[in-house]
Structure 1
Amino acid sequence: MRFFLKLISYIFHPLFIPMAGTAAYFITTPKYSSSDIQNVILLPTFILTVIIPIITYLILKNLGVVHSVFMPTAKERKYPLYINILLLLLVIYKVLPNYYVAELHFYFLGIITASMTTLMLILIKVKASMHLMGMGSLLMFLIGLSIHFEINITLAISLVTFATGLVTTSRLYLKAHSKPELLIGFLIGLLSQLLMIRLWL
């Protein structure tokens, strides 16, 4: 059971949430976009939100700044969050403007808002679950896409809701977070996207 729940924490790591939302957008949108345009957005986004953060994590771990991929202490989360916010800003200003996609633009703004909120909480010694922040962001974005494009993606929304429950169980079982920390993280992700949805719905 421990192995399975730890695997869930890896699979649904917040690192993968920006790419998950980007992929979900291109899968669900009825708007036409050629494979070339998709590749021009997907590849740089993958490099900026997955590859570079992994390399950065390895450097920080080598320097002794972080000790685990889950960064259990609030202090360990500070520097990766600074770097993550900068990389997300690069996605908005260097990747998306070339083939401007309003929905994705505001999705990334929502993730930045959530990350900055989490960072501010860390500075006042409050730890929020970044796993649940990511899941809340993705869930609300999918709901927004469903309403915006008037498409039935109930199955995808249900699967993400179920996955959110698994991630919550995993973080509790592994004693990575308390219940309030999980709830705070989820609400930060959900509300950050909710604030942005009204700008593109």
Structure 2
Amino acid sequence: MKAFLKFIAYLFHPVFIPIYGSLVYFQVTRKYTSLEMQVGNLLPIFILTVVIPIISFLILRNIGVINSIAMPTIKERKYPIYISIILLFMIIYKVIPNNYTIELYYYFIGLIIALFTVLMLLFAKFSNSIHMVGIGSLIMYLINLSVHFEINLTLSISVLILFGGLIASSRIYFRTHSKLEIFGGLMLGVTTQFITLSYWL
């Protein structure tokens, strides 16, 4: 069970949430998107949200700013969030301007709002589970896409909710977050995606 929960935590690590949402969009959209357009979006998103954050983490750990991947202290958690917010802004300004992928554009706007809120709460000495922020954002985004494109995605949404429960269980099992921090993270992810819905639905 320990190995399985650790695998789930890594599979839905926050760095993967932007690329997961992007892949979901191109799978369910009814708009015509050429292969060139998909690659032109997915490749830079993958580099900016997965490759660069991983390299940044290794650098921060090597210089002693971060001690472990769990980042147990509030101070340690701030630096990756700073980097992530900057990279997400780069994506919405350079990779996916809202004139042709508005649904994906506002997905990233929601992620930025969520991370900025997490950062502000860290200054107030309250830590949310970023894992739950990520899965909450992804679940709500899939629901939004289902409504927007009038596609039945009940099975996919149900599977994501199941994974959300497993992620919450892993956070409790490894004692990385309290139940309040887990619930707060989930609600933050869901709410920020819901807020952006009115701009593109």
TM-score range, shorter chain: over 0.9
What SS does the corresponding residue of 1:20 show, helix, strand or coil?
helix
The one-letter code matched in structure 1 to 2:127 is K
The one-letter code matched in structure 2 to 1:184 is G
2:42 maps to which residue? 42
1:69 maps to which residue? 69
* Distance in 2 (alpha carbons) for counterparts of 1:133 and 1:22: 16
* Distance in 2 (alpha carbons) for counterparts of 1:99 and 1:44: 18
* Distance in 1 (alpha carbons) for counterparts of 2:8 and 2:39: 28
Q: How many residues align?
A: 201
The one-letter code matched in structure 2 to 1:32 is Y
* Distance in 1 (alpha carbons) for counterparts of 2:53 and 2:35: 26
* Distance in 2 (alpha carbons) for counterparts of 1:129 and 1:88: 19
1:195 maps to which residue? 195
Question: What TM-score, normalized by structure 2, do the two folds share?
Answer: 0.98
1:19 maps to which residue? 19
* Distance in 2 (alpha carbons) for counterparts of 1:37 and 1:98: 14
Gaps of at least 5 residues in structure 1 are none
Q: Which runs of 4+ in 1 moved over 4 A?
A: none
* Distance in 2 (alpha carbons) for counterparts of 1:183 and 1:97: 32
2:6 equivalent to 1:6: yes
For 1:36-185, list aligned pairs within 5 A: 36-97=36-97, 100-185=100-185
Q: Check conservation: 1:37, 1:99, Cα contact below 8 A.
A: no
* Distance in 1 (alpha carbons) for counterparts of 2:5 and 2:16: 17
The one-letter code matched in structure 2 to 1:119 is L
Shift of 1:115: 0.1
Question: What TM-score, normalized by structure 1, do the two folds share?
Answer: 0.98
Q: Check conservation: 2:133, 2:186, Cα contact below 8 A.
A: yes
**Percent identity for Structure 1 against Structure 2:** 53
Shift of 1:67: 1.6
What SS does the corresponding residue of 1:97 show, helix, strand or coil?
coil
Shift of 1:97: 2.2
The one-letter code matched in structure 2 to 1:153 is L
* Distance in 2 (alpha carbons) for counterparts of 1:49 and 1:70: 18
* Distance in 2 (alpha carbons) for counterparts of 1:73 and 1:126: 11
Q: Check conservation: 2:98, 2:105, Cα contact below 8 A.
A: no
2:30 equivalent to 1:30: yes
* Distance in 1 (alpha carbons) for counterparts of 2:98 and 2:147: 26
Shift of 1:139: 0.4
Q: Check conservation: 2:111, 2:137, Cα contact below 8 A.
A: yes
**CA deviations over 1:169-192 (Å, ceiling 9, x no partner):** 000000011000001111111100
CA RMSD of aligned residues (A): 1.0
